[in-house]
Amino acid sequence: MVRRARLALVAAALVALGAPCGQGARALEWYTAWVSTAYVEPLSNRTVRGNTESGRYGDSSPKESAQGLVGIPRGASPRHMEGCAADTDYDVPLPPGGRPAPEGEPPAWIALVARGGCTFKDKITNAARKRAAAVVIYNEARFGNSTVSMSHLGTGNTVVIMVGYPKGIEILEPVRRGIPVKMTIVVGTRHVQEYISGQSVVFVAIAFITMMIISLAWLIFYYIQRFLYTGSQFGNQGHRKETKKAISQLQLHTVKRGDKGLDVDVENCAVCIENYKLKDTVRILPCKHIFHRTCIDPWLLDHRTCPMCKLDVIKALGYWGDSEDALEVPIPESISGSVSVGSLSIALQEDDRNEVSELSASSTSESVLQCTSLKEDAGETTALLDVDVSNNRHGEHLSNGNSH
C-alpha cells in the first residue's frame, strides 16, 4: 500500500512539473516576437526607429509576421484603452497625404490595447471585428517589462503578442499625439519553459510532505509492532523455561512387551497417530494419558495442556500458582491399589520400582495431595504399567490386618 501511494505521488509530481505528454508538452513551448517601430518626429523631422525582441506570442496566436499602422481605442480615460467594449472604435493616425483604404479592403493596421478589464479573448475579438491585422497588448505598470503567456482560444488567425508596460507606453505616446507609427512584428526565438510555476511547486511540496507523513506513520506502526512482539518474546522466554523445567519432571517409561493396559499392536499416540513400538520412550502425564516423548514435549511447550483431556499439566504440577490454589490431580483406581475403611493404600510403579504407602484415616486431612475423584476406566491406555500381583496381595494382607 505504501509503495502504491509513493508511485501515485511521483506520477502526480511529474504531471505538475509539466511532463512532456499531450497538451502539457505544448504548454512548455512559446515564442518571442521582434517588434520594430518607426515614426517621424514632427518638430525635428527626424525618424525614430526601434527594434527589440520584447514581444511574446499568445498561446493560440499563429506564429506569423504582421505589419501596419498602430491604432488605439478612442477615448481619453484609461478604461477606454482596455478595449473591452464591443462597440469600441479605434483611431489610426495616417501619414501626411495618406488616404484611407478603399471600401472592402482590410486596413493594414495593428491594435494597441492595455491589459485588464476583461479577458484577452474579448479584447482580441473586438479588435478583429474592426479588421485589425494584429493585436498588441501591453502589460500593467506593476509588472514592468515582463510578459505572460496569454490564453485566447477561439480568436481565429489574428496575430496576438504581448509587450511590457514601458514598451507599450513608448508606442502609445506618439500615437496619442496623432503621429503615425508603423509597426512590424516578426517571429523571434522559440523557448522551452525550464522553470516551475509557483502552483506546481506548492503541489509538489504538498505531495512530498504527504508521502513523508505516510512513510513516517508506517515506520512508527512497524516499530511499535516490533517492540510489542519483542516484549512478548521476552515474557514467553521466561514461561518456556518454567515449562521445560516442569516437563522434565513428568514420568518417563520405556515401552516393553507385556505392559499391562498398553497393547503395542493396537494403541497409538494421540499426537502422531502412530502405534507404540517396543523400546519407545513415552511420557505419562498427571492425568495418566500416555504419549511419545518426542511428540508430547513440543506440544506441552507450546500448549501446556493434555491433547486429550485438556488438563493444564503445568498448573497440575504446581507451577505458576499458589500452593493453596494448586489443581488437585485425580488418581484413577487400579488393581495395584486398594481402599479400606480405615486407610487408603496407593501402589504406583515407576520404572520397575514399587512403592507401598499406607495412609491412616486420621492423617489424610493433613496430606498435601487429596483425591477428589476416582477414575474408573481399567480398559483404556491410562492403566498403570507393570503391576506386580504379589505386591497387590501383600497390600491387601496389610489392609486386612489393620481392619482387624
Tens digits of per-residue pLDDT, 334-380?
333 333 333 333 333 334 333 333 333 333 333 333 333 333 333 33
pLDDT band per the 50, 70, 90 thresholds, residue 390: very low
Over 90: is that where the pLDDT of 268 sits? no
pLDDT score of 82: 93
Domain residue spans of the chain: 29-192, 239-325, 330-404
Segment 172-182, tens digit of pLDDT: 999 999 999 99
Q: What pLDDT shows up at residue 348?
A: 32
- Tell how strand 182-192 and strand 29-41 pair up: antiparallel
Q: What is the pLDDT of residue 383?
A: 38
pLDDT at 327: 38
Q: What share of the chain in percent tops pLDDT 70?
A: 64
The rounded mean pLDDT for the chain is 74
pLDDT band, very low/low/confident/very high, at 136 (cuts 50, 70, 90)? very high
Q: What is the pLDDT of residue 186?
A: 96
The confidence score (pLDDT) of residue 286 equals 87
pLDDT for the residue 166: 95
- pLDDT of residue 229 exceeding 50, the answer is yes
- In sequence order, the 6+-apart residues with CB closer than 8 A to the CB of 281 are 252, 253, 254, 255, 292, 293, 294
pTM, two decimals, is: 0.46
| pLDDT, greater one: 47 or 316 | 47
- What integer pLDDT is reported at residue 385 of this predicted model? 38
Burial class (CB in 10 A: 0-12, 13-18, 19+), 115: buried
CA angle 205–208–210, rounded 5-degree value: 110
Judged against a pLDDT cut of 90, whether residue 164 lies above it is answered with yes
Mean pLDDT value across residues 136-147:
93
The rounded percent of the chain whose pLDDT value lies above 90 is 37
The class (CATH top level) of 29-192 is: alpha beta
Least confident range of 3-17, 27-41, 76-90, 151-165: 3-17
Residue with the larger pLDDT of the pair 159 and 340: 159
Identical topology for domains 29-192 and 239-325: no
Fold for domain 239-325? Answer: Herpes Virus-1 (3.30.40)
pLDDT digits (tens, 9 = 90+) for 79-133: 889 999 998 999 999 887 666 555 555 568 999 999 999 999 999 999 999 999 9
Give mean pLDDT, residues 29-40.
94
Q: What pLDDT does 362 receive?
A: 36
Backbone torsion region of residue 395, taken as left when φ is above 0, otherwise alpha when ψ lies between -120 and 50, otherwise beta: alpha
At 67, the pLDDT band (50, 70, 90 cuts) reads very high
List phi, psi (to 5°) of 305.
-115, 155
Please name the residues in contact with 306: beta carbons below 8 A apart, sequence gap of 6 or more: 285, 287, 289, 313
| Mean of pLDDT values over 210-234 | 86
* Contact partners, residue 373, CB within 8 Å, separation at least 6: 330
210 membership: H or E segment, kind and range: helix 198-248
